[in-house]
Amino acid sequence: MNCPRWIRPLGDLVLGTHPAHRLRIIRSLTAAYVYIVCMVLLLRGVSLGLVSPPVAHGLIGYMAVGVVTFYALLRSGCTRRAREPGLALEQSFFAISAITVAYVIAGPVRGAVLLLLALVLVFGMFTLTPRQTLLVGAVAISALGAAMAVMSWRDPHEFPPQVQGIQFALAFSVLPTLSLVAHQVSQLRMRLLKQREALHEALARVQELATRDALTGLINRRHMQELLDQEMKRQERSGAAFCVALIDLDHFKQINDTHGHHVGDEVLCGFTQAALEVLRNADIMARWGGEEFLVLFPETRAEQALNGLERLRERLRGAPVSESVAQLSVTFSAGVAEHEHGQTLRQTLERADRALYEAKAGGRNRALLAAAAAPATAR
């Protein structure tokens, strides 16, 4: 059955749109429903002569102000940065104070009011921390015991000490037990939350390992391939050009043979750091394999990409790239290709690879622009 169109906007108006925030408000409004029922019962008690009108009206006003205040605080969002955004502990203490007063004024039906204290603990097990559930249980017992003792002393006819003692003994046997159960449920809830957070962190770590090169921290070849596919689709929609550059570190094998693979790893990381400092934020570099890197230049023409690589060459000129061998520097050769409409990504990468080969054959330490793709011939 489809709901009327006005239901969802009304729900957003009353509850907000943030999922976690909506849940806090729903819990508060659920408690408000209990308060409203209690207000109605108090008015009924007044009509039957069981409750003093001034006291009943005062308690009704107290509960109404509390309900409106908590809703306003939660709906306004001003509690979102609080340690406990749902104000669960504050609402529990407020409920205990209202229930204690209701017990005093409820007359012959005050025994039923004690059920509401149990309801506070049930609500708390889903919102409070384990320590807070024990605190709320202790406050509830203390408030109830103090009210019974004071009223037995002031009005022993209305509050017979023997009867109050029996009721307190019953409450003292039930409420602490329920408080311990709420404490255990709260502990379980907190444990599940921590496990969920750990699972999210593990999944994020797995995702990181699946898309990043462990040595340089750059995205890996597989993830770059996905980004290149996305860039091609974006170009098909917008028509904006993009370029790719294949970069190969010059004489890297000689560095490994002379200084060892540890120094070679330092050179790869040093080159990566230098490149990230020079390239634009929009440019994306990946480790393509071994000492080879690929740079994606979104919304960039070939000449602009070449200028970016020239800035990188200048940045590397004589700059140290290894902590172990301070005097060691590195150069690179590169081939740049601008992707052309009608070409496949593989064809563009092959053009960049041919330009890289020409740069290496021409003496290295240079970046060359790939020749334009040959036009398709009619058959």
Residue with the larger pLDDT of the pair 156 and 376? 156
CA–CA gap between residue 356 and residue 367 (Å, rounded): 7
Are 279 and 156 contained in the same domain? Answer: no
Task: Give the tens place of pLDDT for each residue, 44-87.
Answer: 888 888 888 898 899 999 999 999 998 898 888 888 887 888 88
Percent of the chain, pLDDT > 70? 96
CA–CA gap between residue 89 and residue 186 (Å, rounded): 13
Half-sphere exposure of 377 toward its Cβ, with a 13 Å CA cutoff?
A: 2
**Domain coverage including residue 129:** 7-205
Are 201 and 59 contained in the same domain? Answer: yes
244: pLDDT strictly greater than 50: yes
Phi, psi of 331 (to 5 degrees): -120, 175
Domain boundary among 205, 238, 272: 205
Task: Give the tens place of pLDDT for each residue, 364-375.
Answer: 999 999 887 766
How many beta carbons lie within 10 A of that of residue 359, not counting itself?
24
Q: CA 292 from chain center: how many Å?
A: 36
Task: Give the tens place of pLDDT for each residue, 137-183.
Answer: 888 888 888 988 998 898 888 888 888 888 888 888 777 777 788 78
DSSP code of residue 219: B
The CATH number for 290's domain is: 3.30.70.270
- Total domains in the fold of the chain: 2
Tokens of 332: 């690179």
- Across all residues in the chain, what is the average pLDDT? 86
Are 291 and 362 contained in the same domain? Answer: yes
Are 263 and 298 contained in the same domain? Answer: yes
Residue 214 lies inside a defined structural domain of this protein:
no
Are 164 and 228 contained in the same domain? Answer: no
Residue 268 lies inside a defined structural domain of this protein:
yes
Residue 252 lies inside a defined structural domain of this protein:
yes
Question: Cα dist. 266→192, 257, 288, 293, 322 in Å?
Answer: 42, 14, 17, 15, 5
Domain boundary among 176, 205, 234: 205
Task: Give the tens place of pLDDT for each residue, 193-206.
Answer: 888 888 888 887 77
Place of tokens 């709906």: 75
- In sequence order, what E strands does 156-311 have? 243-249, 284-289, 292-297
What pLDDT band is residue 379 in, cutting at 50, 70 and 90?
very low
Residue 378 lies inside a defined structural domain of this protein:
no
Are 49 and 101 contained in the same domain? Answer: yes
Strand order in the sheet with 367-369: 284-289, 292-297, 243-249, 332-338, 367-369
Task: Give the tens place of pLDDT for each residue, 54-65.
Answer: 988 999 999 999
Residue 374 lies inside a defined structural domain of this protein:
no
Are 161 and 29 contained in the same domain? Answer: yes
Residue 220: per-residue pLDDT: 92
